[in-house]
Structure 1
């Protein structure tokens, strides 16, 4: 009887730091479903090899000399592969999800986080269905999607949601950061949709661009006749629309 063959996905590792590639390789090689077909240290060669070899999965660094990871992704966007950015900097998250990336991993990447990412790629459809089922059974959780990947986020882990252009940034508290390994999750869900899904007793819409966790608010201040709130976590002062000031005070009084 012939052995059952496993469908193997072809992987390309692109990073100008050999240590980073070594780390990725050590984890990826534990998966029978994956085969590393190339390890590349610069963006120019990466573009040529992606076009030539057409990998199934690409793990791509962002900051590289001459040609950045974003430029590699842009030039090769018409080629069908699953893209995972691996970088030491979290401030690229918004730009990363404007590409076709399905995940964004921060260095140093823990093996458990990398394995979770790989399993998500290998079983993406099943995981999406599981996430939706979990959402049905947990009224305090949200399923966040950027159109490529899905995350289940507990409402208690959200400090505030900010609208920036076409995207919304979900800012997490420390418990959420520890769980998801990132301070901010980027989603294509509209603020209006978030407002309809979030608990009205726990969140309030302060401004057309902001929804805030009520329990995170520690201060209301007035500067140049404009109201702002300060939160327990983070230094940012969030603006309050004039029409929302009374509603905010009422929400805070109910929470006392």
Structure 2
């Protein structure tokens, strides 16, 4: 059982998190605080906290300030906020994940599973937003006289806008050209996990990132691009959630 504490000054946000926690039988709420000062005074090492859900915008003491005092008292720290601008600060505060409100149950559960991969977190009577059996799509390939091609989502490296078309880069080095727009691709992908847009012309599979250098992302097929200015905040949230960091004292 994973013990959880919620610190948030908004009751509707607490109820949303409580609802999601109730859907995962391995999670157990041991404390809820609407006043950050009370949380500061009452949360101790004896609380045996596995997950601390922390809002950021709160009166008198911000979640970032409170996190500095409570970080050593919890195994994992998850920031929950409606503002993406705090992503880098959350990273500096040694947050393990950053959930932007309003977040879905799918996002919540995948975050918990990522942080606790050895735990069996089964959902009860819940339909996830992405159908797990819907693992492919069909597309007309311009380079094959509009032959309809079956494409597995797991085989996609990236989608790239090319004037009136979209290029689809696959892991077998094949490139499909479809009469689609990036906006169409966004609609097709919906809330599917594993794909991110960090540039107006590219949507990428994060599983197929080779490396990140500064603001440049290079994919496994050597496709590379610089993160767009308007996508910097979401990119920082992605780094905050995925980048490993040491727990050693600096």
Name the TM-score, length of structure 2 as normaliser. Answer: 0.52
Q: Which residue of 2 aligns with 1:67?
A: 61
Q: Could you tell me how far apart the structure 1 residues matched to 2:9 and 2:214 are? A: 42
The offset of 1:112, in angstroms, is: 1.6
Q: Could you tell me how far apart the structure 1 residues matched to 2:6 and 2:15 are? A: 10
The offset of 1:17, in angstroms, is: 0.4
Q: Could you tell me how far apart the structure 2 residues matched to 1:17 and 1:72 are? A: 16
Q: Which residue of 1 aligns with 2:38?
A: 45
Q: Which residue of 2 aligns with 1:21?
A: 14
> In angstroms, what is the RMSD of aligned CA positions?
3.9
1:203 is matched with which residue: 224, 227, 232? 224
Q: Could you tell me how far apart the structure 2 residues matched to 1:89 and 1:83 are? A: 17
Q: Which residue of 1 aligns with 2:109?
A: 115
Change (3 A) 1:60 1:192: closer
Change (3 A) 1:9 1:198: same
Q: Could you tell me how far apart the structure 2 residues matched to 1:120 and 1:86 are? A: 16
Change (3 A) 1:42 1:124: farther
Structure 2 residue 240 is matched with structure 1 residue 191: no
Name the TM-score, length of structure 1 as normaliser. Answer: 0.51
Conserved 8 A contact 2:79-2:95:
yes
Query: Please, which runs of 5 or more residues in structure 2 have no aligned partner?
Result: 121-153, 162-181, 199-205, 233-250
Conserved 8 A contact 2:52-2:74:
no
Cα displacement string for residues 147-194 of structure 1 (whole angstroms, at most 9, x for unaligned residues): xxxxx9x763799xxxxxxxxxxxxx9749955698779xxx761897
Q: Which residue of 2 aligns with 1:92?
A: 86
Change (3 A) 1:12 1:235: closer
Please state whether the residue corresponding to 1:67 is helix, strand or coil. coil
2:71 is matched with which residue: 64, 72, 77? 77
1:156 is matched with which residue: 151, 155, 158? 158
Q: Could you tell me how far apart the structure 2 residues matched to 1:36 and 1:85 are? A: 16
Conserved 8 A contact 1:15-1:42:
yes
Q: Which residue of 2 aligns with 1:251?
A: none
Please state whether the residue corresponding to 1:123 is helix, strand or coil. coil
Q: Could you tell me how far apart the structure 1 residues matched to 2:12 and 2:217 are? A: 44
The offset of 1:32, in angstroms, is: 1.9
User: Which structure has more RCO (C-alpha within 8 Å, separation ≥ 6)?
Assistant: 2
The offset of 1:64, in angstroms, is: 0.3
Cα displacement string for residues 103-142 of structure 1 (whole angstroms, at most 9, x for unaligned residues): 100111112211212222331699xxxxxxxxxxxxxxxx
